Amino acid sequence: MARATFNFPQGFLWGTATASHQVEGNNFNNQWWAWEQEEGRILNGDKSGRACDWWAGRWREDFDRAHETHQNSHRLSLEWSRIQPEEDRWDEAALDKYREMLLGLKERGMSAMVTLFHFSIPQWLAEKGGWEMPETAELFAVYTRRAVEALKAHCELWVTVNEPNVYATGAYISGEFPPGKKDTKLGLQVLVNLLRGHALAYQVIHELQPNARVGVAHHWRGFRAADKNPLTGLSLRLHDEAFNEAFPQALMTGKFDGRLLKADVPEAKGTQDYFGLNYYTREMLRFNLFKSKELYTERFYPKEAELSETGFLANDPQGFTRAIRWANQFGLPIYITENGCEDAQDDFRRKYLLDHVLALWHQVNYNLPIKGYYHWSLTDNFEWERGWSQRFGLWALDPATQLRSRRRSADLYAEICRTNSISSEAVEKWAPEHYERVFPG
């Protein structure tokens, strides 16, 4: 039996990621809460409810869980609607509570990565038009100033916008997110407005905190052509350019090119101190004349793919390798800001985790400047339009009772975090059925 240890660099960040609306609970003043009350919007009629009950204080025990399993960092987000519940009113008590959370991480020897916009906006802003309005960029900068002034003593690593491409697609192209519109050109305009919002927030953060590191969490979704049809090739290029390339390229050049919409955003040029990468999976793509609502494109996984329990994603570490190499073109330090899978039974997750962390190790050993990895997620949480149907947590959560149950993958990840490595001893103990995948021969 092969024995080895794959070590990561000293000071590497190991953590988990969460988002405010998905974990805090009773977040009734944003557009997602309103969306959940409308029939048919969320799978199975689910509602976020208490979520993981963090706003009531259960973040403490979950931070204890992260600390006890040797995580040295945590990525969380702020809820704009709590900090600015009305356009002309700020809630200092909410800022105090976030300050308490960040101090809680410090007390546990963990650093914070803080996201300012993770899909949820105040209801008052949604009613005005949200990110459809160019003026929202300025409103976002004002909110950023208020938040960073209050919290900068406890955080140096900021994410301005989480997955702008996923938000614009879900809210304005596929219509699965609020406000549920299906207008591709409007979705591209929202991306431009988010670019401007990010650029203004970047300037504000560095004005207040010159040594801060600021970036965006980019979602890279790999597409592979399923056939040699030239129309499939064209569709693949259009998807890749609009979804994967347009936003991050604009942060390098100051020019947004979404094919259907082009815009100059010179203030966005050079406004990243690191590259945040979210990766989950890749998929096949082919042209389909009968799929007009999907831009004449059919997307699917290959027959041989190892699929998660709901078929939501495929275990594709080769795609992760490609995503990391793609991110490296931007010449910045890289943080894996999200990576994980849904698996209530907790077998697929351990295989997925090992395959992806091993792929990450290979890229670190090619001297790519990867500085940290955040697993999605710490506990099961409310997964947006999919409600409670998918379980991404290292800890299982019963939303009705708030009971947490430790999964074996939590122990596997704990050993990775504790030793800053993948070791044969850890895999043998916590995932013996996958030993040969990591240590063949």
Distance separating alpha carbons of residues 163 and 400, to the nearest angstrom: 29
Lowest mean pLDDT among 53-57, 154-158, 279-283, 293-297: 293-297
Pairing mode of beta strands 370-375, 334-339:
parallel
What is the reported pLDDT for 303?
Answer: 96
- We report the CATH number of the domain holding residue 89 as 3.20.20.80
Q: Answer whether 0.85 is exceeded by the pTM.
A: yes
Residue 403: inside a domain, yes or no?
Answer: no
Contact status, residue 179 vs residue 127, Cβ threshold 8 Å: no
Element (H, E) at 196: helix 184-208
What is the reported pLDDT for 70?
Answer: 98
pLDDT at 350 over 80: yes
Burial letters for 128-142: b for 16+ Cβ neighbours within 10 Å, e otherwise?
eebbbeeebbebbbe
What is the reported pLDDT for 19?
Answer: 98
Residue 348: inside a domain, yes or no?
Answer: yes
Burial letters for 66-94: b for 16+ Cβ neighbours within 10 Å, e otherwise?
bbebbbbbbbbbbbbbbbbbeeeebbeeb
What is the reported pLDDT for 1?
Answer: 77
What is the reported pLDDT for 293?
Answer: 77
Residues with Cβ within 8 Å of 100's Cβ and at least 6 positions away in sequence, in order, are none
CA angle centred on 272, ends 314 and 384, rounded to 5°: 40
Provide the pLDDT confidence category of residue 441 given band limits of 50, 70 and 90: confident
Q: Residue with structure tokens 């995948």?
A: 437
pLDDT at 308 over 90: yes
Contact status, residue 41 vs residue 384, Cβ threshold 8 Å: no
DSSP code per residue over 149-169: HHHGGG--EEEEEE-HHHHHH
Over range 135-158, report the average pLDDT: 98
Residue 140: inside a domain, yes or no?
Answer: yes
pLDDT at 420 over 90: yes
Over range 421-426, report the average pLDDT: 97
Range of the domain at 207: 12-391
What is the reported pLDDT for 393?
Answer: 98
pLDDT in tens, 181-214: 999 999 999 999 999 999 999 999 999 999 999 9
Dihedral through CA 15, CA 20, CA 24, CA 28, nearest 10?
A: -170
Lowest mean pLDDT among 264-268, 288-292, 393-397, 420-424: 288-292
Residue 99: inside a domain, yes or no?
Answer: yes
Distance separating alpha carbons of residues 357 and 6, to the nearest angstrom: 10
Would you call 22 exposed, middle or buried from its count of C-beta atoms within 10 A (0-12, 13-18, 19+)? buried
Residues with Cβ within 8 Å of 200's Cβ and at least 6 positions away in sequence, in order, are 137, 138, 140, 141, 144, 267
Element (H, E) at 327: helix 317-328
Distance separating alpha carbons of residues 344 and 383, to the nearest angstrom: 14
What is the reported pLDDT for 2?
Answer: 85
pLDDT in tens, 332-348: 999 999 999 999 999 99
What is the reported pLDDT for 295?
Answer: 81
Residue 374: inside a domain, yes or no?
Answer: yes
% of the chain with per-residue pLDDT over 70: 100
Q: Crossing angle of helices 317-328/348-364, nearest 10°?
A: 30
Distance separating alpha carbons of residues 339 and 275, to the nearest angstrom: 15
Structural domains of the chain, count:
1
Distance separating alpha carbons of residues 358 and 340, to the nearest angstrom: 14
Element (H, E) at 113: strand 111-117
pLDDT in tens, 8-42: 999 999 999 999 999 999 999 999 999 999 999 99
pLDDT in tens, 364-387: 999 999 999 999 999 999 999 999
% of the chain with per-residue pLDDT over 90: 98
Residue 132: inside a domain, yes or no?
Answer: yes
Count CA atoms closer than 13 A to 127's CA, side-chain side: 9
What is the reported pLDDT for 361?
Answer: 98
Contact status, residue 343 vs residue 306, Cβ threshold 8 Å: no
What is the reported pLDDT for 102?
Answer: 98
Over range 2-13, report the average pLDDT: 96
What is the reported pLDDT for 240?
Answer: 96
Residue 260: inside a domain, yes or no?
Answer: yes
Lowest mean pLDDT among 294-298, 316-320, 407-411, 429-433: 294-298
pLDDT in tens, 45-61: 999 999 999 999 999 99
Residue 144: inside a domain, yes or no?
Answer: yes
pLDDT at 399 over 80: yes
Return mean pLDDT, the chain: 97
What is the reported pLDDT for 371?
Answer: 98
Over range 260-289, report the average pLDDT: 97
Q: Which of 40, 49, 61 is nearest to 406 (CA)?
A: 61
Q: Residue with structure tokens 């209050």?
A: 150
